[in-house]
């Protein structure tokens, strides 16, 4: 019966009308190309973790030297071509107690809700592996890659404990900082290039890591329209007792000088 229906001239004409001719296919393909010509990443559907749009709207720079590290980020949030907010904090501390601040500092680039979810997972991994940032970062990257829910999150993270600094992505990548420098976000490459230039320049070799990070971020903010000059900087050290000892030495030196002056 089906073969007879297909042989019917009326049905045949209907099928021929429904089948697009080559000219119509060409028109549809050209229209699709025009639709996606402004953004080639739209052709593949949802942006992947390497998609530049997942990094748009923020700049985070990590500078690690010796047993100290600095994480600095701008405060701008962009919605399309509009500056939605200018004082967002994109870096935070982990692993702290009521008596002392945490040594782990992390920054994110991407969706805020996705980053907060990843921060919670990172905090859970740090509680599971206290004092083992490398193991915690590797465990988070594995969960991020394999979990059906987490793999949909669009963000990129940078974490450091003063001694090590890692970039963590949803592709399962955990990359150590090269030369102690990591930059992510829309202006991350500008900040990274400026930081590398300052780190290798003889005139700025004596700069403190805070000053180096601020100068590099200033260059990125001047070049990237999605980055402003409202910087938030957090510093951490792998040996916090060392800083406390230096402070005590300075205080004792000052007291000795005052006693000598009185005499």
The string of DSSP codes covering the chain is -HHHHHHSHHHHHHHHHHSPPHHHHHHHHHHHHHHHTT-GGGGGSS--TT-GGGGTT-EEEEEEETTEEEEEE---EEETTEEEES----EEEES--SSS--SEEEEEEE-HHHHHHHHHHHHHHHHHSTT-HHHHHHHHHHHHHH-TTGGG--EEEEEE-SS-EEEE-TTS-EEEPBTTEEEEETTHHHHHHHHHHHHH-STTTT--HHHHHHHHHHHHHHH-TT--S--EEEEEES-HHHHHHHHHHHHHHHHHHHHHHH-
Look up 44 and say whether it is catalytic: no
Catalytic residue among 58, 59, 156, 236: 58
| Positions marked catalytic | 58
């Amino acid at each position: 019966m089906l073969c007879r229906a297909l042989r019917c001239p009326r049905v045949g004409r209907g099928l021929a009308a429904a089948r697009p001719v080559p000219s119509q296919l060409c028109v549809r393909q050209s229209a699709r190309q025009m639709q996606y010509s402004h953004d080639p990443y739209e052709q593949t559907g949802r942006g992947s973790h390497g998609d530049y749009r997942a990094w748009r709207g923020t700049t985070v720079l990590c500078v690690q030297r010796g047993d100290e590290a600095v994480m600095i980020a701008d405060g701008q949030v962009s919605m399309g071509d509009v500056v939605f907010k200018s004082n967002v904090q994109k870096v935070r501390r982990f692993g702290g107690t009521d008596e002392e601040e945490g040594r782990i500092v992390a920054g994110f680039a991407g969706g805020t809700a996705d980053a907060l979810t990843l921060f919670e997972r990172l905090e859970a991994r740090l509680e599971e592996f206290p004092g083992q940032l490398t193991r915690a970062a590797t465990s988070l990257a594995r969960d991020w890659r394999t979990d059906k829910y987490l793999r949909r999150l669009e963000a990129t993270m940078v974490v450091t404990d003063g001694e090590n600094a890692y970039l963590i992505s949803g592709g399962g990548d955990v990359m150590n900082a090269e030369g102690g420098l990591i930059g992510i976000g829309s202006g991350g490459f500008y900040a990274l290039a400026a930081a590398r230039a300052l780190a290798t320049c003889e005139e700025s070799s004596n700069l403190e890591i805070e000053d180096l990070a601020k100068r590099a971020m200033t260059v990125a903010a001047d070049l990237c329209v999605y980055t402003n000059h409202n910087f938030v900087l957090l510093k951490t050290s792998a040996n916090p007792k060392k800083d406390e000892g230096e402070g005590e030495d300075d205080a004792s030196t000052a007291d000795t000088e005052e006693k000598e002056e009185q005499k």
